Amino acid sequence: MHTKTATDPQGSSSEAARTTSLHALAVVARHHGLHLSIEQIRRDHGIESGEPSTALLLKIAEENGLTGRRAKLSWKHLARLDKALPVMLRLRDGSVMVLVSFRKDGAVPAAMLQDPLSNDHACVAVDELRLASVWDGETIFLKRRYKASDEERPFGFAWLMGQIVREKRIFRDVAVSALVLSLFALVPPLIFMVILDRVLVQQRLSTLYVLVGAIAFVLVFDTMFGYLRRYLVAIGTAKVDARISTYIFDRMIGLPIDFFERTPTGVISYKLNEVWRIRNFLTGQLFGTMLDSMTLLVLIPAMFVMSTPLTFLVLGVAALMFLVVALYIGPLARAYQKVIQAEQRKGSFLIEVLHGIRTVKSLALEGRKRHDWDIRVAEAVRANTAMQLLSNQPQTILQPLEKGIYASTMAVGAYLAIGEGASVYGGTLVAFSMIASRATQPFVQIASLMQQFQEARGAVMQVASVVNQAPEYGLGRNGVRPVIHGDISFSEVRFRYPGSQNPALDDISFSIKAGNVIGIMGRSGSGKTTVTRVLQGLHQNYDGLIKIDGVDLREIDLNHLRSNLGVVLQDNFLFNGSIRENIMAANRSASLEEVMRAARLAGAEEFIERLPRGYETVIEEGSSNLSGGQRQRIAIARALLVDPSVLILDEATSALDPDSEAIINNNLTRIAQGRTMIVISHRLASLVNCDQIIVMERGKLYDMGKHDELLQRCDVYRHLWFQQNRHLSPGNTHDRAPLTPAANT
């Protein structure tokens, strides 16, 4: 469909103004062999309407395997682009056109522009005059990125140093200011030397006035360069800190569900929080030491000029300090590992108690938990104390060595200054002692840095053990994005949870037609929920074949798959925010009318309207201000708002009171219209009207059919039905029958 932009570049439709940038990006990406989902980009970056900025477009391109830059071009430049095409042209109204070629063969040169909203990829020829009336020259170049980006490299010191290098301009200026400051550091000792050797001896006031002026000059510029250095360091470290934090969160949130289920939350939280130690080491201790060490480039040559023997004395003591620290690196590393293990156990226990505080209170376990906490605190205190005592030993040895540098230079220098053949004058001795004290500080910092490096190294290993885990397969990759109608088939699917001996799903096969309502029942541990978890792509390591609308589940882009699935669990999590924001969680652009419609279908409208602030009521942490049934109905409304092709209700009505459950059941027919629905429930009465009911038993598909059929032939279903409906069971028909497999249909 042609828009006004395609036929007349001087104007554009409101629709084009809202969407041309992202569609143009998709057009250029497709030229480079990448397929982008506009809907997924909108969802990931919260783009509801309007044109995203050029900076955001470049960021989106970087995240999707492209690299780009912005440039200001003229008409003459466009004629010479050749292999750089296609490029994106940002028009004055904010919309974007794609320049696919430049035609020079006609009487008038023309730029061939493609409207990104056009379904037939039609191009329009635009001459210089018409283009100049709507285009200021802003151009976006994109090309395929074939080398690994920073986000794709494993986390480690190499990656961290790469982030600092990315801010090389800022840190280059910091290094220049540090070098200037190191030059200023020479001025006070030299002034003292001149005062002692010249002014006091020869009584020259004129020289003293000059020196006072020099001191004032140095103070002013030293203050200015000191401020500049701290300012630039603050800006540079803030950028590095933001990049590290976003990288770690992106990698963490992209991990598979298996990792979070087998790793305690407290351990994950502790490991990721170690990033503050890494940040402080890189941008504080390491960078500060490197900058201060730059003064040695100036101070050491100055010391050699003043006195070679005294300089070798200072360097000899510094080497001894390095030797002491090197001997303690190994023991400190082992002690720090014990601290990490103890702190992990303590943090994991604390998170567990916080999550289970209701159970702790209801079972009066406060005393027992206090005892267990005291044990873990004692372990952590012992480990920390042992490390502190061990680290105190090298510090105790280094302290007299540091002070000995000043004392030894004064003593040896005084000896060299005594006598007629003195090689050192009094002023020179004082100046050398001041410079030596200044030069000692970087040596001490470098020595202590070796100890701090072990802590940072341990922190890097802790963070890397989380973020370097293999990401969820299929998440963010360029999988297929078919139109999902809800036709589902399982063929000989087998799945076993990690560490389990028995399969959770054992050779199950069935088919679901689009638009059908399917019930799944079975005893606890029979594999009911596992069927839906595999269907959501939460577990990829299954055998067999799962197809949705004829497409292999493994080939479907996970974001696309999950955006077409609505899932309501037995215990749903609500985010901190208003009820409206929670219902809109998966569709931020939904209107209030759409939110109210979803709440009405879910049976939540009647209690929301009774709240003082209605849909703007803030949900407290843990949803403590809502009942279990209210949380469940909000979760159902949240799933319905995205209008999913497949809706999964996993014990969704188990926490509801009879009235609320009746509201949901009465609305099921309306909810199920136009979509496939899978209902897992222990309450068989809620499955009676399903098109098909799947009976699971110990990971196998035991039987499948309608309610009446299963009552006649399936002993498992019949037993559970009459157990829940004893008033309907004639005589002893509710007694347990032997388990004999029935024929699958």
Task: Out of 316-330, 442-456, 611-625, 687-701, give the one with best mean pLDDT.
Answer: 687-701
pLDDT at residue number 123? 83
Q: What is the largest CA-CA distance in the chain?
A: 126
pLDDT at residue number 480? 81
Pairing of strands 692-697, 517-522: parallel
User: With 80 as the cut, is the pLDDT of residue 362 above it?
Assistant: yes
How many CA atoms, within 13 angstroms, populate the side-chain half-sphere of residue 141?
13
Q: How many Å apart are CA 697 and CA 520, to the nearest integer?
A: 11
- Average of pLDDT values for 229-250? 81
Joined tokens for residue 669: 């027919």
Q: Could you tell me the pTM of the whole model? A: 0.69
Q: How many Å apart are CA 369 and CA 355, to the nearest integer?
A: 13
Under a CB-based contact definition with an 8 Å cutoff, are residues 651 and 570 in contact? yes
Q: How many Å apart are CA 716 and CA 262, to the nearest integer?
A: 32
352-378 in b/e burial notation, b at 16+ Cβ within 10 A? Answer: bbeeeeeebeeeeeeeebeeeeeebee
User: With 80 as the cut, is the pLDDT of residue 245 above it?
Assistant: yes
Under a CB-based contact definition with an 8 Å cutoff, are residues 597 and 574 in contact? no
pLDDT tens digits for range 368-411 = 889 999 999 999 999 989 988 888 888 888 888 877 777 787 78
| Higher pLDDT, residue 243 or 648 | 648
- Average of pLDDT values for 34-54? 77
- For residue 442, whether the previous peptide bond is cis, meaning omega lies within 30 degrees of 0, is no
Q: How many Å apart are CA 91 and CA 132, to the nearest integer?
A: 10
Question: What 3-state DSSP class applies to 723?
Answer: helix
pLDDT at residue number 491? 92
Share of the chain above pLDDT 70, in %: 88
Task: Read off the DSSP letter of residue 489.
Answer: E
The letter for the amino acid at 495 is: F
Which residues have C-beta within 8 Å of that of residue 719, sequence separation ≥ 6?
734, 735, 736, 737
How many CA atoms, within 13 angstroms, populate the side-chain half-sphere of residue 644?
23
Helix (H) or strand (E) holding 69: strand 66-72
Joined tokens for residue 671: 């909810």
User: With 90 as the cut, is the pLDDT of residue 46 above it?
Assistant: no
Length of the chain: 745
pLDDT tens digits for range 78-129 = 888 877 888 889 888 888 888 888 887 767 888 888 888 877 777 888 888 8
| Predicted confidence band of residue 199 (pLDDT cuts 50, 70, 90) | low
pLDDT at residue number 147? 58
* Domains along the chain with CATH numbers: 20-144 (3.90.70.10), 157-468 (1.20.1560.10), 488-726 (3.40.50.300)
pLDDT tens digits for range 628-645 = 778 888 888 898 888 889
pLDDT at residue number 378? 93
On average, the pLDDT of the chain sits at 80
| Residues β-bridged to residue 512 | 488
- Average of pLDDT values for 697-711? 90
pLDDT at residue number 15? 41
Under a CB-based contact definition with an 8 Å cutoff, are residues 155 and 463 in contact? yes
Share of the chain above pLDDT 90, in %: 9
